[in-house]
Amino acid sequence: MTINKGKTNEELVQKYLARKKVREQEPKPIEEPLEEKVEGENGLVYAVDKIIALFREGQDDIIITERDNFVNAICAYRGILYDAGDDQTIFITQANAPIKTLQGDVVTRSRGIQSLCAHRGVLFDSGNYSGVYTLATDTSAVNVLNSKQRGTEDKHVLTLCSHNKRLHHVENGKDLYCTIGHDFIQTIEPCESFVTNLCSHNGELYHAETKSIYKTLTGEKIAEREGWVRALCSHNGELYDGGDYGMRETRSNRIVNYSFVKPYVRAMCSVPPEIVDEITFRAGKQDKSKFYER
């Protein structure tokens, strides 16, 4: 065993890099060309009332799981799928298990969760309770709006969105804020009722307000629906919306024919190919009667 006496870390690093450069310049044996790896497209996961499923064009969708109460939010975060809703907790979707603290206690909220958002490596949630929460390193809840000086202690935040490297939310139904720092951006107009959803798509911010979908910063209406819009999702270069009418490709108004006859789409999420592969691999025998329940 050779011991490098008296050499500094910098000298050892430089010696390693010099040897690496020599190796890289040595001629390599001729090998058969490898087949080019083709990256798959993202998959679309959605919730119809209490059921979470993976959409598959031209095939039966895969039922992933079913909750006791309505599912209002789905989020892919660090290669793992999460969901939340009126059960008042955040589930690791495929494991069918709620998030727990290091002490083994289930992480719960006081009322239903309406939104999950992955932003700069952190998972945030909000809903029919005061503030916006994140899970600290010990998975205890931290309210990032918990400041009486900001007047946010009683604010219910129904939608979150990561856009242009900033986390956004809506207060008072139509006031748009940057969440971290609580910087006011603008009052969303037109808005006759309240904003139900925010979505970042191709560099622009969109929102849904009851039955209409707008470009948030300009107020341009891009779509109108016959029912309540409950979800927006940027997926494989297209904007999608879902609600009491089913699911649509927003700009083209194309109907997305998912497997359920029930039209109530409550949440959508574009998930990476590795999650699609895992869902497909884990899929057991499907109870197709669920597709026809109303």
Give the domain range for residue 156.
Answer: 46-287
Angstrom distance (rounded) from CA 241 to CA 225: 10
Instruction: Give the pLDDT mean for 78-93.
Output: 95
**Residues with Cβ within 8 Å of residue 23, at least 6 apart in sequence:** none
Report the CATH number at residue 53: 2.120.10.80
Q: What is the tally of structural domains in the chain?
A: 1
Does residue 216 fall inside a structural domain? yes
pLDDT in tens, 152-179: 455 688 899 999 999 999 988 888 988 8
Does 274 reside within a domain? Answer: yes
Q: Does residue 10 form part of some domain?
A: no
Within a domain: residue 107? yes
Number of H helices, E strands in the chain: 2, 24
Does any domain span residue 16? Answer: no
As a whole number, mean pLDDT of residues 49-64 equals 95
Residues 6+ apart with CB under 8 A from 217: 186, 204, 205
Domain membership of residue 31 (yes or no) is no
pLDDT tens by residue, 104-160: 888 899 999 999 999 998 999 999 988 888 875 455 567 777 544 344 455 688 899
Q: Quick check: is 126 in a domain?
A: yes
Contact between residue 25 and residue 13 where contact means Cβ atoms under 8 Å apart: no
Residues 216-254: tens digit of each pLDDT: 999 999 999 999 999 999 999 999 999 999 999 999 999
Of 171-175, 179-183, 259-263, 283-287, the one with minimum mean pLDDT is: 283-287
Report the C-alpha gap between 195 and 174 in whole angstroms.
Answer: 6
Q: Would you say 73 and 265 are in contact if contact means Cβ atoms under 8 Å apart?
A: no
Q: Is 37 contained in some domain?
A: no
Q: Which of 126, 26, 112 lies closest to 67, judged by CA?
A: 112
